[in-house]
Each structure stands twice: as structure tokens, then as C-alpha cells.
Amino acid sequence: MITRKRLAAGACVLFAALTAGLALPSTALADETTAAAPKVNLLLDVSGSMRARDIDGQSRMAAAKQAFNEVLDATPEEVQLGIRTLGADYPGDDRKKGCEDTAQLYPVGPLDRTEAKAAVATLAPTGWTPIGPALLAAADDLDGGTGSKRIVLISDGEDTCAPLDPCEVAREIAAKGIGLTIDTLGLVPNTKMRQQLSCIAEATGGTYTSVEHADELSDRVGQLVDRAADPVVVPQPAEGADACAQAPTLESGLWTDRAEFGQQRWYRVDVAPGQELRAAVSVSADRAVNPSYGVLLRAVTVHGREIVRGEAAGDGRTDVISTGLRYPKPESDDDESAAETVCLQVTHSYSGADGVKTTPGLPVELTVDVVDGPGGSSDVASFGLGRGWWLLGALILTGFVAGLLWGWVSRWRVAVWRTN
């Protein structure tokens, strides 16, 4: 009897151990999947002006509720979605209280469609339009995880809580380097509202859309939620230095930084013999700038000798200007040859008129790719044709011989024709 009990106990212990062992990988996988899940926070204006009945015969609030219900039904399973409101709870005239009126209606996380729809059904147009404070809170709602993060702001008016400028708030969010995108939708917009919502979107690389019909609102919000589920490369923050010696060393990837007017930013990349450095930079004008502009990307040695450069310039309206460069490091006969440190210098010549803020700096996005070279210095010929010179030479020779033959045949036919 004792033997059977011991045997049964041993079997239970073994089963528990096996079960724990099998559970560990799945738990780790679940944690990893959750960390990488895309997150979307729908930020809805519920201010008093949403009572207006000018969207297909219904109120703006009704159109928004309809759109949200349709979007909730179609949200991909992998997307963690939340809903935040602004101007939904305080109906009074106290400006301070009105500008604090933002709340998380449904927390960002795995979606319970029934619960989310029930929360949306309770909304009624109420108070102020504190877009700036709501954006700050919405960004905090999305904190954590390594997946893409997106705020979709739907509003029918400009912010009413100045001097906190929502455009400056969006720039501050972008400057944190957390890879968060803000898309904005304006319901029946006027010029001032369109400018403000466009500025918010542009500051984070998002989009602005004007909406005047219910089906447009549903379609656009649905597109943005679906887009969050698409695989994306999230830029990593990199704080460039004022000189190469203090610059951070970057690996292959997408990096984001900020550069003020007239400021140089330096970064370092290690390139081994036989490898090729490919780098590209984009600088965004997320505020009013003067029409003449340019961007310069230089690769130099640690001693300051220029290796290669890429530059672009223009005169007129622009939102983004980009340039790039390539640097192949020749192979070495020494198999243990050390990598070369290449210094990348990013400079832009955007300038702002009086009154345009210089901080935070303009968004800089730097792509770095260090790859195996095309097979060594022997494969790299002038003008980048490589071994294609052999083919080009063969084609030239073939054309020359064919021309001689055709000329000889043509002269022979003419001579025969004259004889006859």
C-alpha cells in the first residue's frame, strides 16, 4: 500500500514537472506576442459641438458612434485597442476643469467588442475640447510593449485650452522616440481646425483626413486600425553628438533623432573590410520654415577626411527632404583586420522666421545598413558597372562587326543592282 502511494505521488510529481516544462515555452511565447502586439488608441472629441446635425442628416456624435461600432466589429484579433474621450464629462464654464476633461473610456488591451460598444453607447456631447491634454494622456495609455503604437484623433473643432498648443504636444511626443504615430480626422473642418490637425499629424509622421460623410469616417478609421496590424519597423531613438568622438555607435536599423536649426548631428558606424555601408537620412519640416532648404549627409574618417557625401536642396514648399550615400570598404589580405569606424554627419539648412520655435529640433530619421560587399574590390569597377564592363565590351564589339558586315552587304547589293 505504501509502495502504491509512493508510486502515485512520484507519478504526480513527474506529471507536474512535465506540465510545467511544457507550459514554460508557451508562456514565454505568449508574453513575447503580447509585448509585440500593435496598439491603437481611438481618441474621440465629445465636446458640445458634436451635437451639430450636419453629417448625412444625423449628428456628428451619431456618425462617430456608428463608425466606432463598425470599426470594433472589424478590428483584427492581434490589435490591442482602447478608446479615450475628451470633453465628455464636464459641462460647466470653469476653464481649468474643462481642460482636464479627458478619460479612458475603454482601456488599451485585448478587445471585448460587446463591452467596448456598451461604453461607446453611453457617450453624449458635453463640454470643452482639450486636445493637448488628451494627446498626452493617450500617449501614456500606449506605454509599454515593442509593437507599433497609433493614436487616431477624431475632432470637429480646434483645441480650446491654449496656451498648451496640441501641435507642440505632438512634437514633444515625437521627440521621445517611442515610435508613436498620430493620425487625425476632422469632421466638417474649417481652415483653422484643418491647419491644427494637419500639424499634429505631420509632427509624428501621421496623416490628416477631412470627413464630411458617415461612410468616409467608418472607412478611414477602419483603414488606420488595419494599418496598425501591418508589420512595421519602429525607429529606435539615437541621440547624436556635436562631434564624432562623442557620437553613439549605430548598428543596422532605423534610428530617429532631433536636430535644431543649424545644428550638426554626429553618429558612428563600424564597417569591416569587405562590407558596404549604406546610409540615408530624412529631415522633416514639422513647422513653418523658410523656402530655401537643404540636407547634407557626410561619411568621414575619425581623423576628419571626407569619404563620400550625399546632399539634396530645394526652394519651395516641402515636408521632407532626403539624401543618402554608399561606402564599400575594400577587402583586406589580413583576415584579422579591424573594422573601420566611419563618422556620419547630418546637417540641414532649414531655417525659421522670427517667432518659430527652435526646440525641439526637427525630426531626423536615419537608416543605417551594413551589408556584405559585392565580392571585394576586384568586382567594383568605375561608375559602378563592375563585371558588367565585360558584357558592355562584348556588345560594342558585336555591334562593330555587325556594322561592318551590313555595310559590306549593302555595298555589294548596290554594285549588283547597278550592273544589272
Grid coordinates 568586382 are at which residue? 379
| Nearest by Cα to 259 from 135, 341, 324, 346 | 346
**In the prediction, which pLDDT does 406 show?**
75
**In the prediction, which pLDDT does 395 show?**
72
Give the amino acid at 72.
L
Dihedral sign from CA coordinates of 16, 20, 26, 27: positive
CB-count burial class (<10 Å; 0-12, 13-18, 19+) for 165:
middle
**In the prediction, which pLDDT does 335 show?**
63
Query: Cβ atoms within 10 A of the Cβ of 56, count?
Result: 14
Domains of the chain: 32-229 (3.40.50.410), 236-376 (2.60.120.380)
**In the prediction, which pLDDT does 4 show?**
44
Is residue 115 within 8 A of residue 149, CB to CB? The reply is no
**In the prediction, which pLDDT does 21 show?**
42
**In the prediction, which pLDDT does 3 show?**
42
Q: Supply φ then ψ for residue 235, to 5 degrees.
A: -60, 140
**In the prediction, which pLDDT does 1 show?**
39
Residues lower than pLDDT 70 in the chain: 1-35, 177, 231-234, 317-319, 333-335, 374-393, 414-420
Write the CA distances from 212 to 54, 55, 189, 191, integer angstroms.
Answer: 8, 6, 8, 14
**In the prediction, which pLDDT does 404 show?**
76
